[in-house]
Structure 1
């Protein structure tokens, strides 16, 4: 890597922030955030596709409200605990986009469904039955989306088995099958932009085909829901897709830059850190580690000569974060020529590789606009992960 700015990394500088902010600190620029929200909501409106963002990315009720205020139809989450916190904050439409299993979860879901419009995911009749029994006993119906594995290999039924499993779920008391959903994480394995687009279209096509097979078997489905910021701008335009659930798009991160979906200027989140040690010209230490920056692999098409560290140091070409421990990070000079100077006490800003991990490691986020702190919001505590 040289000190020249790489084409994938624009020359946008750090956010303007007050000098008295403590570090490490998770910063959110509200102007950038709102432009990102408006851009995705505009795409969904153009193609008449629903937008139900993944609030698990940020786990901040105020940000879920901002997404709803700027065009989202609802939000999606990973856990009931997240949904419960958001319902308490007034969010009225939610999808728990992961399998819920067990009477304990069913009873919580029943209480939650009395406070909001709730949809949950299921990928087996056995799992859905544990929910349906509780809802049927209460004289209620729970809306369920069949989770389909579109290549990520995490959970979900094989597309060729979708119609059979859909019927098994639809016949259960207490549940109403309303559609299919997937997380197309496999698109992150794309090797270039053309491959990324092709993979997104292939997943959309496979999901539409699975839905048509279910409809041909005699069931009515209204929802075909896909979720990945990596491919959101592709799948939103694919015929048959009715909803997308991206998360990182609102903030962006190094992964989204590497995929060509973002630039430094469209990244709304930075981790503010302080240089606390500079023992040699070519190395330094900051007070932010993986507890603040998070961790997580970059997409396959990321240029490792540009994104080879852990997070992107803004406005410091030639410097990379070489290594992280829980509370500290080690910087190393990898540019051409002698290192550019850093000072002990200097503030630096880092775009995280994976923005959801940065939110997960932070107790609060500092929302700034025009260099001034507008709000400080708490993120959900560990209990929301249940």
Structure 2
């Protein structure tokens, strides 16, 4: 829905959906288009070609949306981003198969984990260093409850001395992975069950940006090189771990790399989350057509001139390296733009473009966040829209008192 006609229809549809609740909805009004969400879920499952899709909860942060994704055929398990979040999801009955994607040093949460056999059986911790095991042991007096462990292996592309990709794990060579695996297996109170390799330089980088043709070509070539290198390394890791432990899963990839990830025979499951909501940073991929599903609405509060419209708030800027691509996108009505001087402001955001002239005080403008999930750290409730109606209003993590 990137065409002007479609975005104008979206503007009318979302305005109609919230019209009956307008007096009660504080801005930013966060909505999820369930029709787009469900279509995106089906598309992710299709792209995964039979391998399970593990829901990356960082990209949703709304329990009802995580549950909705898990209800779709082809989805299984959650990839959480904090241990506290994983414990909350388990306690709420969202999933009994939760892998924490990042090593944790949260001793309070670890105490809760090791004191609950049910939680320990459902949650898998990620490690890439013996020190992570030491932290777990530091909070328990008994090792009667086994802690499930997965190894996070660096999936960056190495070109000579250059490393392209997220700076995550110190584990790279199969020999180093096997050495840590043997340590885990030999250590009382731990059970090695999985491996993860997240190729962010493939999954999280747009490769078909219309205004960056030359750069996009370079990105595609780097992705091809990375996929080829990873195929060899993953195979070596699987062979090195075969005599050490009987693994339950080998997790990899993300929304932008589903096809290449599942094509690797070493991988047993793919992670995905952003592909369900499709934020601004996921607009320009060759591998899939975007269907934006998450929006936030702000009201016009000023008309500084006949050709400008200023909305109240708007400074919902995404994390990561600072740049224009981290700013929210004015989406509906189409044709609006942020100004170069003020950008997206904490208390006001001026908008230019031809639709600004027709907007009046009180009108809604709908934006897209640059990154998936982060939008919902700014609101307590999310309104789920189907067609032209809000069919349900659900709490975000923040609304539940569990902001992460």
With the length of structure 2 as denominator, give the TM-score of the two structures. Answer: 0.80
Distance 1:227 1:250, change over 3 A: same
Matched residue, 2:177: 162
Matched residue, 1:280: 305
The correspondence for 1:88, drawn from 83, 87, 91, is 91
Q: CA deviation at 1:318?
A: 5.1
The correspondence for 1:182, drawn from 197, 207, 224, is 197
Q: CA deviation at 1:162?
A: 2.0
Distance 1:9 1:119, change over 3 A: same
Q: Distance in 2 between matches of 1:244 and 1:60?
A: 20
Matched residue, 1:310: 328
Q: Distance in 1 between matches of 2:191 and 2:76?
A: 20
1:148 lines up with 2:153 in the alignment? yes
The correspondence for 2:123, drawn from 118, 122, 130, is 118
Distance 1:230 1:42, change over 3 A: closer
Q: Distance in 1 between matches of 2:191 and 2:339?
A: 49
Q: Distance in 1 between matches of 2:240 and 2:383?
A: 46
Distance 1:233 1:365, change over 3 A: farther
Q: CA deviation at 1:379?
A: 0.9
Distance 1:147 1:55, change over 3 A: same
CA contact (8 A) 2:61 2:397 kept: yes
Distance 1:153 1:363, change over 3 A: same
Matched residue, 1:358: 375
Matched residue, 2:210: none
Q: Distance in 1 between matches of 2:89 and 2:339?
A: 35
1:326 lines up with 2:350 in the alignment? no
Matched residue, 1:97: 101
Matched residue, 1:257: 283
Q: CA deviation at 1:349?
A: 1.1
| Residues 52-109 of structure 1, C-alpha deviations (whole Å, 9 max, x = no match) | 1111222221112112211321111111221122122212221111102365343222
Q: CA RMSD in A?
A: 3.1
Q: Distance in 2 between matches of 1:38 and 1:298?
A: 31
CA contact (8 A) 2:338 2:351 kept: yes
1:10 lines up with 2:28 in the alignment? no
Q: Distance in 2 between matches of 1:82 and 1:310?
A: 26
With the length of structure 1 as denominator, give the TM-score of the two structures. Answer: 0.83
Matched residue, 1:295: 318
Distance 1:298 1:273, change over 3 A: farther
Matched residue, 1:226: 252
Matched residue, 2:162: none
| Residues 189-230 of structure 1, C-alpha deviations (whole Å, 9 max, x = no match) | 554263375266247426513523532664443422114222
Matched residue, 1:4: none
Gaps of 5+ in 2: 157-164, 208-214
1:31 lines up with 2:43 in the alignment? no
Q: Distance in 1 between matches of 2:317 and 2:287?
A: 21
Matched residue, 1:63: 65
1:53 lines up with 2:55 in the alignment? yes
CA contact (8 A) 1:150 1:206 kept: no
Distance 1:207 1:49, change over 3 A: farther
| Residues 137-194 of structure 1, C-alpha deviations (whole Å, 9 max, x = no match) | 2423222110112234433123113222222222221111122113322234554263
Distance 1:277 1:235, change over 3 A: same
CA contact (8 A) 2:124 2:150 kept: yes
Shifted more, 15-24 versus 92-101: the winner is 15-24
CA contact (8 A) 2:155 2:172 kept: yes
Q: CA deviation at 1:359?
A: 1.5
Q: Distance in 2 between matches of 1:117 and 1:372?
A: 36
Distance 1:216 1:373, change over 3 A: closer
| Residues 316-368 of structure 1, C-alpha deviations (whole Å, 9 max, x = no match) | 225346512224322233x8xx9753322221111211122112222111111
Gaps of 5+ in 1: 1-7
Q: Distance in 2 between matches of 1:308 and 1:66?
A: 27
CA contact (8 A) 1:273 1:349 kept: yes
CA contact (8 A) 2:308 2:357 kept: no
Q: How many residues align?
A: 366
Distance 1:276 1:262, change over 3 A: farther
Distance 1:242 1:208, change over 3 A: same
